[in-house]
């Protein structure tokens, strides 16, 4: 008798599990975002904040430090000793302006790191000061704005005769502020913000560490239950009834799902912190107000919120694929037919080409776009699925059932 095959109905990722997992991850994003805003608001208020004024002009300057000496320039406009620096041009950042002014006033191209020292919020000028450390005193070519350059001991510089008052405040910040070895004055807004970010990161990394495994385990359990139930239904529709039991393959798939999701959950506060951190420093240096900073944080919160949804959907597909593969292997089902989802605005050409093709479940289907064998739903944003090939159709259901049971028993013995 000619042996035929039958295609089981496809098993789709359970939408309820996706919704549950997405809710768990997004609840984390909501709470940690609110907590971050509270921490930064407290630090901002303690540091006195930064007052915004649209009439204020923006400028930036650089303190060049060579060991224990700093560079002072004598201005030709009778305003005394100062730093290389000047106003921002349209569309220019503070750092870009500082580097440009160094080139114009000192004839020097400086592409090394610039550390934030202080911001003076005017009026009439909001002036951001950076620190540039050099190992050797560079050769200088002064332009017409200065007629003298002098390297002065840092300990003496804030009290240098004829020093511009704003520069004196900058140098005192360098001597006694966060960049000094012995800071004794009241912490600046930037130092308090840095402390708040560190406190928030430590708190949330600890909270996620304790919660991640519980959430990941519950997700894996829900996904396994849903996948098992759906797989049973597809086999029942094909005329076969099976009873699933724990096996080594299924346990391995379960543990791998838990481990991957623990790692992903841990990245949520880490990724959020890296996104927010640069934004906070930019706000402090540019003299933004708290309302503007809060709005920017909320925008980043939106990015994190959507990323949590992507993680949930992607992991639901991957976990379903892993659980289903383990169950099929236990039952001796070795082949499946790829089904393209026909969803998404830009479908993968290779996945479109795979549609309707038969493949070996143990090795997957080769995807030339990624250069490896894959399974439906395992690549990010892949919504494809497949239909199991039930062998031996044309035999009696009893013979087929016995064959599937033998496959299950043999898999359990391995």
Asked whether residue 82 carries a pLDDT value surpassing 70, the answer given is yes
* pLDDT category of residue 48 using cuts at 50, 70 and 90: low
Whether residue 201 is found in the same domain as residue 305: yes
* Pairing status of strand 146-153 against strand 69-75: antiparallel
Tell which of 127, 156, 185 closes a domain.
185
pLDDT for residue 184:
39
Whether residue 27 is found in the same domain as residue 66: no
Asked whether residue 397 carries a pLDDT value surpassing 70, the answer given is no
Asked whether residue 334 carries a pLDDT value surpassing 50, the answer given is yes
Nearest alpha carbon to residue 14 among 160, 172, 225? 225
**DSSP labels, 262-317:** HHHHHHHHHHHHHHHHHHHHHHHHHT--HHHHHHHHHHHHHHHHHHHHHHHHHHHH
Tell which of 133, 162, 185 closes a domain.
185
Q: Which of 192-206, 329-343, 385-399 has the lowest mean pLDDT?
A: 385-399
Q: What is the pLDDT of residues 144-171, one digit of tens each?
A: 999 999 999 988 989 999 998 888 887 8
pLDDT for residue 399:
47
Whether residue 215 is found in the same domain as residue 289: yes
256 located within any domain: yes
60 close to 95: Cβ distance less than 8 angstroms? yes
- Return the H-helix or E-strand segment holding 128: strand 125-133
Would you tell me how many other CB atoms lie within 10 Å of the CB of residue 203?
Answer: 15
Provide long-range contacts, Cβ within 8 A and 24+ apart, for 51-56.
51/121, 51/287, 51/289, 52/287, 52/288, 52/289, 52/292, 53/121, 53/122, 53/123, 53/126, 55/123, 55/124, 56/121, 56/122, 56/123, 56/124, 56/125, 56/126, 56/287
Would you tell me how many other CB atoms lie within 10 Å of the CB of residue 298?
Answer: 12
44 located within any domain: no
Whether residue 224 is found in the same domain as residue 87: no
pLDDT for residue 142:
93
375 located within any domain: yes
pLDDT for residue 311:
93
Whether residue 181 is found in the same domain as residue 280: no
297 located within any domain: yes
The residue written with tokens 């789709």 in the block is: 12
The residue written with tokens 């308090």 in the block is: 192
Whether residue 242 is found in the same domain as residue 151: no
Whether residue 64 is found in the same domain as residue 30: no
Asked whether residue 16 carries a pLDDT value surpassing 70, the answer given is yes
Whether residue 293 is found in the same domain as residue 384: yes
Asked whether residue 181 carries a pLDDT value surpassing 70, the answer given is no
332 located within any domain: yes
Max avg pLDDT among 12-26, 52-66, 163-177: 12-26
Residue 95 belongs to what domain range? 57-185
Number of domains in the chain: 2
52 located within any domain: no
pLDDT for residue 171:
85
Q: Which residue has the higher pLDDT, 106 or 57?
A: 106
Asked whether residue 406 carries a pLDDT value surpassing 80, the answer given is no
67 to each of 64, 107, 133, 179, how far by Cα in Å? Answer: 10, 21, 8, 14
190 located within any domain: no
Whether residue 235 is found in the same domain as residue 384: yes
Q: Which CATH number does the domain housing residue 105 bear?
A: 3.90.79.10
Quote the CA–CA distance of 15 and 283 in Å, as a whole number: 41
**CB neighbour list of residue 71: distance below 8 Å, 6 or more residues apart:** 63, 64, 65, 83, 84, 137, 149, 150, 151, 152
Tell which of 129, 153, 185 closes a domain.
185
336 located within any domain: yes
Q: What is the mean pLDDT of the chain?
A: 83
Whether residue 333 is found in the same domain as residue 370: yes
Q: What is the pLDDT of residues 93-136, one digit of tens each?
A: 778 889 999 999 999 999 888 887 877 766 567 788 888 999 99
Whether residue 340 is found in the same domain as residue 394: yes
Q: What is the pLDDT of residues 196-255, one digit of tens each?
A: 888 898 999 899 988 999 999 999 999 999 999 999 999 888 887 888 888 999 999 999
* pLDDT category of residue 91 using cuts at 50, 70 and 90: low
Whether residue 68 is found in the same domain as residue 134: yes
Q: Which residue has the higher pLDDT, 176 or 76?
A: 76
pLDDT for residue 188:
59
Would you tell me how many other CB atoms lie within 10 Å of the CB of residue 265?
Answer: 24
19 close to 26: Cβ distance less than 8 angstroms? no
Determine the average pLDDT of the residues in 83-96.
Answer: 82
Quote the CA–CA distance of 189 and 52 in Å, as a whole number: 15
């Amino acid at each position: 008798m000619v042996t035929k095959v039958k295609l089981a109905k496809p098993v789709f990722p359970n939408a309820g599990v996706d919704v549950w997992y997405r809710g768990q991850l997004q609840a984390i994003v909501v709470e940690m975002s609110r907590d971050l805003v509270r921490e930064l608001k407290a630090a901002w208020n303690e540091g006195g904040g930064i007052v915004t004024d649209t009439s204020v002009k923006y400028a930036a300057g650089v303190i060049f430090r060579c060991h224990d000496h700093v560079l002072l320039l004598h201005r030709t406009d009778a305003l005394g000793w100062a730093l290389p620096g000047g106003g921002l041009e349209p569309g220019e950042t503070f750092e870009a302006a500082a580097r440009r002014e160094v080139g114009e006033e000192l004839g020097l191209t400086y592409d090394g790191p610039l550390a934030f020292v202080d911001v003076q919020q005017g009026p009439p000028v909001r002036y951001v000061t950076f620190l540039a450390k050099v190992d050797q005193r560079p050769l200088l070519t002064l332009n017409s704005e200065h007629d003298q350059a002098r390297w002065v001991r840092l300990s003496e510089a804030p009290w240098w005769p004829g020093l511009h008052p704003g520069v004196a405040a900058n140098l005192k910040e360098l001597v006694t502020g966060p960049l000094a070895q012995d800071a004794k004055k009241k912490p600046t807004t930037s130092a308090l913000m840095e402390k708040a970010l560190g406190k928030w990161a430590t708190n949330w990394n600890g909270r996620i560490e304790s919660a991640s495994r519980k959430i990941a385990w519950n997700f894996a359990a829900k996904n396994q239950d849903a996948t098992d139930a759906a797989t049973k239904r597809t086999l029942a529709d094909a005329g076969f009834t099976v009873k699933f039991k724990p096996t080594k393959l299924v346990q391995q798939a379960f543990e791998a799902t838990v481990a991957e999701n623990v790692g992903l959950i841990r990245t949520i506060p880490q990724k959020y912190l890296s996104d927010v951190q640069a934004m906070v420093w930019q706000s402090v240096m540019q003299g933004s107000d708290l309302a503007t900073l809060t709005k920017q944080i909320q925008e980043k919160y939106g990015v994190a919120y959507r990323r949590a949804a992507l993680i949930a959907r992607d992991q639901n597909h991957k976990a379903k694929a892993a659980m289903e593969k383990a169950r099929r292997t236990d039952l001796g089902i070795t082949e499946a037919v790829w089904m393209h989802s026909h969803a998404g605005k830009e479908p993968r050409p290779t996945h479109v080409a795979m549609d309707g093709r038969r493949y070996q479940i143990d090795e997957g289907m080769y995807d030339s776009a990624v250069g490896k064998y894959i399974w439906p739903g395992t690549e990010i944003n892949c919504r494809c699925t497949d239909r199991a090939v039930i062998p031996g159709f044309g035999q009696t259901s009893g013979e087929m059932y016995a064959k599937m049971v033998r496959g299950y028993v043999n898999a359990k013995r391995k």
